[in-house]
Amino acid sequence: MFSRLARFVVRHPWWTILAWVVAAVAIVALAPSIETKSDQADFLPAKYESIQAAKLAEKSFPQAADATAFVVVKRADGAKITPADSTKITQVAQTLTAKKYPRVVGLQTNAESVAPNQGFQLINVALKGTDQNAQKDQGEAIKNMRKDLPGALGGDLTAKIGGDTAGWVDNEDSFTQSMALVTGGTFVLIIALILLIFRAPIAAILPILVIIATEIVTMKVIGAASKLLDFSGDDSLQIILTIVLFGIGADYYLFLLFRFRERLRAGDDKKTAMITTVERVGEVITSAAAAIAVTFLVLMFAAFGIFSAWGPSLAIAVIVMGITSLTLFPALISLLGTAIFWPSKSWKKEPKATLATGMGRMVGKRPALVALGSGALLVVLALGAFGFKADYDFQASFPQDTESAQAAKEMQKGFPPGLTQPVQVYLESTDGQPIAKDKVTAFSQQAKSLPGVGGVQPAQEAPGGKVVQIDLLLKKNPNSNASIELVKDDLRPAAHDIAPAGTKMLVGGTTAIYGDINKVVNRDLSVILPIAGVLIALILLVLLRSVVAPLYLVPIVLLGFAATMGSAVFVFQGAMGQPGEIFHLPIMLYLFVLAIGTDYNILMTARLREEAKAGHEPRKAAALAVQHGGPTVAAAGLVLAATFSVMLVAKVTMLQQMGGSIAMGIALSAFVMAIFLVPGITALLGRAAWWPGHGADPKKAAPDAQGPGETREDFVPSGYRS
C-alpha cells in the first residue's frame, strides 16, 4: 500500500498538491465551525449532586445571579467606616444600579456588609449569564463601574472591585500576552531548531506553512463532524488543537526529512529517495497516527464532558495531519529535492564520529546497564506521582498585583474567604408542603458548627416555600484543594446528617462542583489509561507482527507517563513550593506525553525491527537503530520539548505548569525511553522480542542503508563486527 502511495505522490506531485488544495478550499468554504462551551459545570454528568443542586437552583430561583463580583470600599485616610460613610456607600450602590450596566442585576449593601473590624464595607454585584457573550458584557460592566466609582464615592472613600469576573478582566491581558508569547515562541523555536539541525531555511519554514494550512482545514472538518455526530468542544479546544497539530506535524515532517536525507546520502536520486522514505516511514507515521488517534478517542469513555468532547476533535486532527504527512509533505519535498537543504551541503555525506554513533555503541555493548539505568531513572521519578495534589484556584495562578487580587486580600481581612463563593445548601420539601421556618432556623444554627464553616448567611426562600437556599461561608479559600476535599469528604456528609425531616438536601456551589470534578477526573483516569494501553498494544501488535514487543513497550509508555507526573510534582510542588498542580494536568500529560510520546517509541521500534529483518544480530541491530533512528527522535523531541518550554516564561502559573510538565515528559519519552530503554530491553530479549514475526529469521544484511563508499560494518560498533 505504501509503495503504491509513494510512487503516485512522488511521480505526480503537482496533481497531489492540487488535489489537496481543492479539497481544502471546498472543506473551508462548505463546512461549519464547531460550537464550544465555557462553563465547566456544563460538562459534569447530571448524576452528581452539585449539578442537581444547580438545576434545582435554576428552577427555584430563576432571578438569582449566575455570577457575582464585589466592591471593597474603604476610607481614603485608613480610618474605620462611619455610619455616614455607610449611608453614602448605600446611595452609591443605588446610583450604580440605576445605570443598568449590561448583565448587572443590581448592587446591594447593608449594615451587615460592614466588616467586623469596620475597616471596609462590601457592595455585592449580582450578574446574569454564563455564555461567552454574557461574560464579555459582564467584563465591560466591571470596567465601566471602575470608571464611575471614584466620582460617585467622592474623595473620602476608595474602592476596588474583585471576584472571578473582575479577575478575568484584570488578567485578560496577561493571558492574551502569554498565549501570544507561546504562539510566537513556538513558531520561532520550530524554525530556529530545524534551521540549526539542517542549516536550511526552506526546510525550517516549510512545516510551519503546511501545518497552519492543515489546522484551518482541520477545524472545519471537526465542525462538520460535530454536526453529524453531535459533539461539541470547550473554549480551550483551539489552543490544544494547535499544540497537537504542531507537535505531531513537526514530528512526522522530521521523520520524513531525516530518512530522505539518509537515502540521498546512500546515493538515491531525489525521487527514489522519497519513494523509499514513504515506503519505510509511511508505516511508522500511519501506526503512530493510529495510536494517537485511538488514544484520543478513548477520551470518549470519560464521564467529564470536556475530556469526552476533546476526544473526537483531536482524533480527527491527528488523522488529517497523518494524511497531510503522507501526501502533501512528500509531494513538496520531492519537488524541492536537494534544494530543501539549501545552502547547506552536509546532506551529501554521512558524518563519521557522531554522538548518535557513540550512543549506539554504548547500547549495543552494554544493553543491560543502559536498560537498568534508564528504567531506574523513570521509576524514581514516577514515585513523585504519589504526592500529586490537584489545584483548582485559577485566580491564584495569575499575577497578584491586580485590583481584583488586592480586593480579595482586603475582603479576607474582615470576612471569611468563602463569602464570594459560598457552599450553597438547598432544602427541598418531600411532602409537597412549605418547609417550616423553625426547621430552617434550627438547621442554620446547627450548620454553624459544620466542618470548615466560618459563617451562615440568612436563608432565601423560593416562591411557595418548598425550596430554601442557605449559604455556608468557608473559613478558607473556597478554591483551595483543602476546601474542596473538606466539602467533598466532610462538610457535605455532615450536612446531610442534620438535614431537617421531610426535606431532601442538595449541596452545591463552586467548591462542591470542583469536588465532583475531582471525583470524575479520578474515575476517568482509572478507565482511560487501561483502555488506551490495550489499544496501543494492539496497534503495536499489527505494526511489529510481534506478541512479545507490546508486552514491554506498553508498560514503558505508562511508566513514562507516571515519571512525568512525578517530575512535575518534584519541580512545581517541591522545588517551587506551589500548593498543587492544575487539576487537569494528568489529562494534558495523557494527551501530549502518553499519546504523542508514543511516536518516538514506534519510530525506534520500527527501526529496530528493520535492522533485525536485515539480518543483524540483536545487539548490532540495537546499535544501528540508535545510530540511525536516534537523531530523528532527538531532533523531534528537542523541537517539541523546546516549544512547550516557551510556556515557562508566561505570567500565568497554570501555563508554566502545563508547558514545563509536558516538556519534561517529551524529553523523557525521546531521550530516555526511545533512545535508551526500548533499544536496551529489545537487545536483551534478542530475536524473541519479534516472536512470532519477521525479525526472528536472520537474513543477509541489506545494503540499502549504505552511504557512498561505506558498508554496513562501518556503522557497527567495534566488538560487534562479524
Q: Which of 86-95, 235-244, 623-632, 690-699 has the lowest mean pLDDT?
A: 690-699
| Domain co-membership, 532 together with 631 | yes
| Domain co-membership, 15 together with 150 | no
Residues 623, 716 contacting (CB under 8 angstroms): yes
Exposed e or buried b per residue across 89-101, where buried means at least 16 C-beta atoms within 10 angstroms of its C-beta: bbebbeebbeeeb
pLDDT band at 672 (very low <50, low <70, confident <90, very high): very high
Q: pLDDT for 377-429, tens place per residue?
A: 999 999 999 999 888 776 676 777 788 888 888 888 888 888 878 999 999 99
Tell me, what's the pLDDT at 73?
94
- Residue 54 covered by a domain: no
Q: pLDDT for 344-365, tens place per residue?
A: 888 877 766 578 889 999 999 9
CATH number at 100 reads: 3.30.70.1430
Look at 160 and 310; give whichever has higher pLDDT.
Answer: 160
What is the total residue count of the chain? 722
Burial class of 118 by CB neighbour count within 10 A (0 to 12, 13 to 18, 19+)? middle
Give the mean model confidence (pLDDT) for residues 539-567.
Answer: 90
pLDDT at 702 over 50: no
Please report, to the nearest 10 degrees, the dihedral formed by the alpha carbons of residues 129, 238, 310, 599 taken in order: -160
Q: pLDDT for 437-454, tens place per residue?
A: 999 999 999 999 999 998
Alpha carbons 223 and 232: distance in angstroms, whole number? 9
| Domain co-membership, 217 together with 318 | yes
Residues 291, 568 contacting (CB under 8 angstroms): no
Give the mean model confidence (pLDDT) for residues 261-280.
Answer: 90
Tell me, what's the pLDDT at 718?
32
- Residue 371 covered by a domain: yes
| Domain co-membership, 331 together with 381 | no
Alpha helices by DSSP H, 355-449? 355-365, 367-383, 403-412, 437-447
* 394, three cell numbers: 485559577
Residue at grid coordinates 438536601: 505
| Domain co-membership, 522 together with 488 | no
Residue ending a domain, choose from 466, 493, 508: 508
Tell me, what's the pLDDT at 712?
36
Give the mean model confidence (pLDDT) for residues 519-524.
Answer: 85
CATH number at 208 reads: 1.20.1640.10
Residue ranges of E strands in 475-600: 503-508, 581-582
| Domain co-membership, 561 together with 668 | yes
| Domain co-membership, 503 together with 526 | no
Alpha carbons 319 and 252: distance in angstroms, whole number? 12
pLDDT band at 696 (very low <50, low <70, confident <90, very high): very low
Residue ending a domain, choose from 441, 476, 508: 508
Residues 202, 340 contacting (CB under 8 angstroms): yes
* 308, three cell numbers: 469526552
pLDDT band at 287 (very low <50, low <70, confident <90, very high): confident
Dihedral sign from CA coordinates of 273, 276, 280, 283: positive
Q: Domain of residue 592: give its range.
A: 361-391+513-722
Alpha carbons 165 and 68: distance in angstroms, whole number? 7
CA proximity to 467, closest of 51, 49, 41, 62: 62
| Domain co-membership, 467 together with 380 | no
Residues 57, 64 contacting (CB under 8 angstroms): yes
| Domain co-membership, 502 together with 530 | no
Tell me, what's the pLDDT at 322?
93
Rounded percentage of the chain residues whose pLDDT exceeds 70 = 92
pLDDT at 717 over 60: no
- Residue 413 covered by a domain: no
Tell me, what's the pLDDT at 352?
67
Tell me, what's the pLDDT at 388?
92
- Residue 403 covered by a domain: no
User: What SS3 class is residue 181?
Assistant: helix
Looking at mean pLDDT, say which of 135-139, 401-405, 673-677 comes out highest: 673-677
Tell me, what's the pLDDT at 714?
35
Segment (H or E) for 468: strand 467-474
Residues 535, 294 contacting (CB under 8 angstroms): yes
Alpha carbons 560 and 582: distance in angstroms, whole number? 20
- Residue 45 covered by a domain: no
| Domain co-membership, 330 together with 463 | no
pLDDT at 516 over 80: yes
| Domain co-membership, 494 together with 569 | no
CA proximity to 214, closest of 36, 28, 30, 32: 28
Residue 5, Cβ neighbours under 10 Å: how many? 18
Exposed e or buried b per residue across 145-171, where buried means at least 16 C-beta atoms within 10 angstroms of its C-beta: bbeebeebbeeebbbbbbbbbbbbbbb
Exposed e or buried b per residue across 568-606, where buried means at least 16 C-beta atoms within 10 angstroms of its C-beta: bbbbbbeeeebebbbbbbbbbbbbbbbbbbbbbbbbbbb
Give the mean model confidence (pLDDT) for residues 112-133.
Answer: 85
Alpha carbons 435 and 300: distance in angstroms, whole number? 42
- Residue 43 covered by a domain: no
| DSSP 8-state secondary structure symbol assigned to residue 428 | E
pLDDT at 593 over 90: no
**Side chain identity, residue 37:** K
Residues 71, 159 contacting (CB under 8 angstroms): yes
* 584, three cell numbers: 487537569
| Domain co-membership, 384 together with 456 | no
How many domains, in total, are found in the chain? 4
Tell me, what's the pLDDT at 8?
93
| DSSP 8-state secondary structure symbol assigned to residue 479 | T
pLDDT at 63 over 80: no
Alpha carbons 684 and 338: distance in angstroms, whole number? 39
pLDDT band at 693 (very low <50, low <70, confident <90, very high): low
Residues 558, 606 contacting (CB under 8 angstroms): no
Please state, rounded to an integer, the average pLDDT across all residues of the chain. Answer: 86
- Residue 480 covered by a domain: yes
